[in-house]
Amino acid sequence: DTGVSQDPRHKITKRGQNVTFRCDPISEHNRLYWYRQTLGQGPEFLTYFQNEAQLEKSRLLSDRFSAERPKGSFSTLEIQRTEQGDSAMYLCASSLEINEQFFGPGTRLTVL
């Protein structure tokens, strides 16, 4: 399977703990995006990379959130000092063209 993969698929953590998610994009895709989806809403943009450069960050991405794409391949999204409001599905997408993004299965985070 050569689609976008995300790990883990599910994460349960206690409030105040740090969590890190990984995304592996489709291999030839140079753009990588992170979105967050909560119940009843569409995905909301968090940040995106072109190769290893982080080009845009949403105001939703507080200083507790950090994303990296060190070699322009896989990416990690870290949330420090998790809060209950961080509970959501975290989606990663990648693209070659500027518009058509292909999504991974997501990581569902539950903060207790």
d(CA 11, CA 77): 13
Choices 14-22, 36-44, 61-69, 79-87; region in contact with other proteins by CB under 8 A: 36-44
One-letter amino acid at 30 equals: N
Choose which of 79, 82, 106, 109 interacts with other proteins (CB under 8 A): 106
Supply the minimum distance, in Å, between the C-beta of residue 61 and other proteins: 12
Supply the minimum distance, in Å, between the C-beta of residue 48 and other proteins: 6
Question: With binding defined as CB under 8 A, does residue 7 bind other proteins?
Answer: no
